[in-house]
Copies of this chain bind each other. A is one copy, B any other.
Amino acid sequence: MLTNTLNKAFLLIVHLDADLLEIVFLSLRVTCVGILIATILGLGLTLLLEIRKIPGQGLIIPILNTLTGLPPVVLGLLLYVVLSRSGPLGFLGLLYTPTAMVIAQTILATPIVAALSHAAITATGQPVRDTARGLGATEFQALLAVFGDARYAIMAAVAAAFGRVMAEVGAVLMVGGNIAHHTRVMTTAIAMEADKGDFELAIALGIILLSLSFLVNAALYAFQRMGRK
């Protein structure tokens, strides 16, 4: 039975089953957009933290670090309460749309990008920064030099965030609703198909999701090794 199911699953993949592709592409679309925004926000935040000692500086980093552990279901619950028609932002009608999923993934990913890049930069940044400023760079130019120097660590941070949110199911299910052809992504589809006992699609998606997150993590690992020791 199992081998049989596996074969079917592989067939789905090799024949590029329409539903399958649709789900995979939606996943990638949502995650890519989410990560893009998260990267901008995360790096912006890091930059901000480095530029000027803001009041409460000392708190922000611990907070960022703890936010990297924000439980997806809690976020999902939160967003549900806020986005549902009876909630403060209900009028936007965002609940159960891809946009809602993007929002969720952005919120999950931003602290990861920010915390990891910040860690990388504080770990190796000071000497590089001194070099730049010692050669006559402005605070800001020096900072750019540090970011440029830590580029691999930053890419690793982004990859890490990507892998985490792409593989996450709790939040996207609660705010996305797993609506076919609309908000059904790999993780939610896998969970559902498994419930229905329809393992072909589930396993096919599982294989793809697994390969993707392995790719991402391989990239991450490669980036980490390219960075300065």
**CB neighbours of A170 from chain B (8 A):** 168-170, 187, 191
A192's nearest neighbour on chain B, judged by CB, is: B73
A222's nearest neighbour on chain B, judged by CB, is: B62
| Minimum CB–CB distance for A213 against chain B, Å | 4
**Do A80 and B174 contact each other (CB < 8 Å), given the known contacts A74-B210, A167-B73?**
no
Q: Verify B220–A65 contact, CB threshold 8 A.
A: yes
**CB neighbours of A72 from chain B (8 A):** 167, 169
Q: Verify A203–B77 contact, CB threshold 8 A.
A: yes
Secondary structure at the A interface, as helix, strand, loop or mixed, is: helix
| Minimum CB–CB distance for A63 against chain B, Å | 9
Taken together as a complex, chains A and B put the C-alpha atoms of A1 and B167 apart, in Å, by 34
Q: Which of A116-130 contact B (CB under 8 A)?
A: 123
Q: Size range of the interface on A?
A: 35 or more
| Minimum CB–CB distance for A109 against chain B, Å | 14
Partner of A217, one of B69, B88, B202: B69
Taken together as a complex, chains A and B put the C-alpha atoms of A88 and B194 apart, in Å, by 17
Q: Which of A206-221 contact B (CB under 8 A)?
A: 206, 209-210, 213-214, 216-218, 220-221
Taken together as a complex, chains A and B put the C-alpha atoms of A191 and B168 apart, in Å, by 14
Q: Verify A169–B73 contact, CB threshold 8 A.
A: yes
What 0/1 pattern do residues 28 to 60 of A give for CB contact below 8 A with B? 000000000000000000000000000000000
Q: Is A131 an interface residue (CB 8 A)?
A: no
Taken together as a complex, chains A and B put the C-alpha atoms of A68 and B88 apart, in Å, by 37
**CB neighbours of A164 from chain B (8 A):** 69
Q: What are 17 A-to-B residue pairs whose CB atoms are below 8 Å?
A: A2-B81, A2-B87, A2-B88, A65-B218, A66-B218, A69-B163, A69-B164, A69-B216, A71-B167, A72-B167, A73-B191, A74-B167, A76-B194, A77-B194, A77-B202, A170-B187, A174-B191
